[in-house]
Amino acid sequence: MKERISVIEGSMAVAEAIRACNPGVISAYPISPQTHIVEYISDFVADGTYKGRFVRVDSEFSAASAVHGASAGGARAYTASSSQGLLLMCEVLYNSASTRLPIVYTGVNRTISAPISIQPDHQDTMALRDTGMIQIHVESLQEAYDAHIQAFRIAEDEDVLLPVMICMDGWTLTHAFEPVKRFSDKDVKEFVGEYKPVQFLNPKNPITYGAFADEDKLMEFKYLMVQAHEKAKEKIVEVASEYKEKFGHYDGGLIDEYRTEDAEIIVLAMGSVVSTVRAAVDELRESGKKVGLVKIRSFRPFPKEAIIKACKNAKLLAVIDKSLSLDVGGILVSDVKTTFYNEDKKPLIASFIAGIGGKEINRKVVKDIVADAEEIAQKGKVEKDSIFVNLNTQFI
């Protein structure tokens, strides 16, 4: 296996992964912090290393539509966007998912206006939560590279056939430089395989996609998507194992557990903050605290069974949310609460809203969260629906 490690930008890691997977059609409209990914792909078009069709468009709506059409026509397709751009795609994304088109997207996480900001949080991809697409959050540049390659395999699996969005925090991951291990385009192509659509729009054999359904079958379409999500849970794990077999390291699966075996408090989080939580857990463990971490990698499908298995013996789960459903609270924590509601044995679940609009979550912030969590665990009762971490009271 030919591999090389060098220091590259997160956006380049994604662009190289996409080039190797060789989509027939890529279409995108620039928006920070997604821009570098598409710029690098444009370079590949210019130097001839990407030979597919790059479609320039006038908006994210058009970009999502172009890849929808390309995928329906039987091509492997890819696009990327951020923030308002993802919102503008939203209508098309419901269509693409329900049409069961295996398109791969990068959702470069950035907060939503207003006020305008380019800093990362998870509100944008959360707004796409119910489109039907698979959403996988990554924490490092290496994982971003690995996850994009695996994404095509998951999306195109005949039992799944759903779009996959790889969610990665803008700036923190897209604009960071780190050593990233990559494999030859040839080996990656071999792993991903040639795309053979189950069916596609073809004038010689006319069919129609997503045209019309009455009340006798619309819900049935949605039910089939629910089943596809169940299948995707197996597939996500399976593809990661195959990836390990071929390339030598495991970067995948539904969740990742860290020091959870005897943990009384488990922090649950998604995205780049997971790396910082892991470092904080190490430091807290050194001072004798029984703290663990569960990284939620796959947000949709939501890995209920894996979360229950990993967390059922903890006293308290401290869930970090970088997005908000107003008046209800964190979106991730709501799913975690739902997961445990009908279980006989369930830990206390506390919600920490943090990192909104890019507000810094460093090790100290994580330790403060754990300290609050310990206090709640001691009381044995969660009194506040949500704890907003480091609110700047000057503005309230």
Residues in contact with other proteins by the rule CB under 8 A: 6-7, 9, 32, 118-119, 139-140, 171-173, 175-179, 272-273, 275-276, 278-279, 360-363
The radius of gyration of the chain from alpha carbons, rounded to an integer in Å, stands at: 21
CA distances from 358 to 87, 273, 308 (A): 19, 11, 30
Q: Taking the complex as a whole, how short is the minimal distance between the CB of residue 21 and other proteins, in angstroms?
A: 26
Angle between helix 304-311 and 331-341 (nearest 10): 80
Complex with other proteins: residue 36 or 100, whichever CB lies closer:
36
Sign for the CA dihedral angle at 124, 127, 132, 137 comes to positive
Residue 255 vs 366, nearer CB to other proteins? 366
* Listed residue (306, 308, 305, 318) closest to 266, CA to CA: 318
Question: Shortest distance, CB of residue 171 to other proteins, whole angstroms?
Answer: 7
Closest CB 251 distance from other proteins, rounded Å: 13
CB of 32 to other proteins, least distance (A): 6
Structure tokens at 204: 């010689």
Q: Based on CB atoms, which residue is closest to other proteins, 27 or 276?
A: 276
Query: Which residue lies nearer to other proteins by CB, 118 or 308?
Result: 118
Q: By C-beta, is 179 or 193 nearer to other proteins?
A: 179
- Smallest gap from Cβ 254 to other proteins, in A, equals 21
Q: What's the min distance (Å) between Cβ of 7 and other proteins?
A: 5
Q: Is the dihedral of CA 145, 158, 56, 45 positive or negative?
A: positive
Q: Which is nearer to other proteins, 139 or 156 (CB)?
A: 139
Instruction: Measure Cα distances from 372 to 49, 278, 288 in Å.
Output: 52, 18, 17
> Tokens at residue 376, please?
């709640």
